[in-house]
Amino acid sequence: MKQRLVSALVAIALFLLTGCGGNFLSDDSGKATSQGVTFISKQAPLVVSFLTSWTQSQPQVEKALKVFLGKQNLDYKKDIQPWLGSEITLAVTDLDFDHEAGNGVQPGYLLIATTKDEAKSRQFLQTWLAQKLITGTELAFAPYKGTQLIYPQVVNPENLVDAARSDDVGSNNGGERNPAPSNLASTFASTVVSGRFVLIANHPQVLRQAINNAQAVDLSLANSPSYQQTRGSLDQSGLGWGFINLPAVTAWLGKHGELTQEPPFASLAIALSPQNQGLVAKTALITGNPETSLDNNPDPQVQSPNLISTNPATDYLPASSGLAISGTNLQSFLAKYITTTDESAEFRESNLLATGLGSLLEKVDQELQIDFSQDILPWLTGDYALGWLPSQDSGANSGNWLFVTDRTSPQAQTAIAHLDQLAMKQGFSITPLKLAEQPVTLWTQLQTETNKQGLKDVDTLVRGVHAQVGNYEIFASDIGVMGAALGVGSQPLTKNKQFQEAIAPLAIPNQGYIYLDWPTARPWLESQFPLLRFLEVPLEPFLVNLETLSFTNYGAKAGITSSELFFNFQKSE
């Protein structure tokens, strides 16, 4: 019943510009702004908007749209295209739209689409909503500030109760209870019908708030200083954009109705544009506290340091790497999030970056029985590269790691020698070996296993391998990975055509790359970050053809950190 109820709760509204009370298509300077954002409040956690012409140039977007509409028994060309205008905006409008603790957390969801034919829009909406009615309800029409709300209302509670009970018995929802029948009317969606916009919401109250925002411009996101600052720093000629209120999104993902704690970042704006077989996303990030900026530059008007054009450490990562991270001065970046003095559960929940990095480094600590923040982090001030490779003989939860770092500083050389001493204290043997004519050092440990005859077999367990190659020290999880780094049966990642295509759109100089081979790394990422599975469900039509994802950071200037992502899709046949 829940799935059908969600469909029945979807609200669609047409709203006339003049009925909204003013000229909201331009700001005070007369510069055009996104049309739909005027309906959205300054507190909205998430907003995404794109031009409908995108579906003609991006087959991935068109496919995702068709899949979504198909689940609603809608045909894009027949039902939507005849009236759809030039822009679609989607938003999470509020963490809890009614702010009533008694009925739990109920986020507000809103879709805004421009329409080019009011009559066809009106006909479609009423026909579609009528088809979505469930037993015991009918469409209601209610005026609100010069507009008309249309929403299902309960007319026969007994039939509604019977329908709810019947559906609950026949469903398999894992023990999740359906809403009480007495609450069904209050959770139904609504519509406003007039002349220029189609609004889709999950409750009449969400639409009322949207109308209020458009009439009282001070409430609108379009007049938020952080929105104007981040959007103003990005190219406005793309085909789509997004704006994320990071504290609110963190609370939304945690299913909180209110903000629990301010995370280090305040807001993020994203501008999307097509690029060959993919999409480029340029981002502008504002930090909530200057001390948590992604650079250490004391002058906010000057571009960040640590910009590089090349990183030789990346040449040691094998072409089979599913994940690659490269850059310089890892210590200055990680120290802000891993060595924080606030280790409370509330801080980790509100800081997704700290949670992800902390979880990863805890695994490193357990595997090597070291303290990463004390034994390794302080001397990672030069070039570095980190790679993850899929394991051929184990499940998705495992894999092999490779880490390359500059060893030219005296501090680095002393620290590397100290790692060998730590390994011996943990009971490992320091075993020298030659691999591809290159001296390497193994951390080994003997272990015994009982064979079929009941006798003990002695085996050597390799816990880690490291080697000095020129100005770099290479650490690997096993001998095979070290061999690949040294060129045994493997080409460098930098010679891989897929990697070259992934980083080609990204500008130089930058602060390094994050490269992801999505089909290869996806199973491992899902096992490490369960939240990813939740996010993948609505994005599956978009992700199914994703080949690689690449990311770089250009540092901060005037308080805004600029970054860029490139989503590269499989070539269309």
Alpha-carbon span 12 to 126, nearest angstrom: 9
Residues linked to residue 113 through DSSP beta bridges, in sequence order: 88, 198
Q: Which pair of tokens denotes residue 266? A: 């305040």
SS3 of residue 153 by DSSP: strand
Q: What residues in the chain have per-residue pLDDT under 50? A: 1-32, 160-188, 192-193, 290-303, 339-352
Cβ neighbours of residue 524 closer than 8 Å, sequence gap 6 or more: 322, 388, 390, 396, 397, 398, 399
Q: What are phi and psi of 355, to 5 degrees?
A: -65, -45
Alpha-carbon span 67 to 291, nearest angstrom: 44
SS (H, E, C) 234-286: CCCCCCEEEEEEHHHHHHHHCCCCCCCCCCCEEEEEEEEEEECCEEEEEEEEE
Q: What was the pLDDT predicted at 6? A: 32
Q: What was the pLDDT predicted at 156? A: 59
SS3 of residue 169 by DSSP: helix
Handedness of CA 124, 126, 128, 129 (dihedral sign): positive
Q: 246 near 45, Cβ under 8 Å?
A: no
The identity of residue 324, as a single letter, is: A
Alpha-carbon span 431 to 330, nearest angstrom: 29
How many Cβ atoms are within 10 Å of 288's Cβ, its own excluded?
A: 15
Residues linked to residue 201 through DSSP beta bridges, in sequence order: 11, 110
CB-neighbour burial class of residue 450 (10 A; exposed 0-12, middle 13-18, buried 19+)? exposed
Q: Which pair of tokens denotes residue 173? A: 């929802």
SS3 of residue 373 by DSSP: helix
**Closest to 137 (Cα-Cα) out of 160, 158, 164:** 160
Q: How far is CA 391 from the centre of its chain?
A: 26
Q: Where are the alpha helices (DSSP H) in 339-402?
A: 345-350, 352-368, 372-375
Q: Beta strand pairing status for 438-450 and 429-435?
A: antiparallel
Q: What was the pLDDT predicted at 445? A: 85
Q: What was the pLDDT predicted at 257? A: 53
Is 0.85 topped by the overall pTM? no
Q: Which pair of tokens denotes residue 448? A: 């015994």
Cβ neighbours of residue 263 closer than 8 Å, sequence gap 6 or more: 246, 247, 250, 288, 350, 351, 352
Q: Which pair of tokens denotes residue 389? A: 């490779």
Alpha-carbon span 147 to 198, nearest angstrom: 12
**Closest to 267 (Cα-Cα) out of 244, 250, 248, 290:** 244
Model confidence pLDDT, tens digit, residues 89-125: 888 888 888 777 777 778 888 888 888 988 888 788 7
SS3 of residue 170 by DSSP: helix
Residues linked to residue 241 through DSSP beta bridges, in sequence order: 49, 271
Instruction: Walk across the sheet containing 137-144 and list its strands.
Output: 137-144, 147-154, 191-192
Alpha-carbon span 383 to 404, nearest angstrom: 8
SS3 of residue 479 by DSSP: helix
Q: 189 near 201, Cβ under 8 Å?
A: yes
Q: What was the pLDDT predicted at 157? A: 55
Q: What was the pLDDT predicted at 122? A: 79
Alpha-carbon span 202 to 129, nearest angstrom: 13
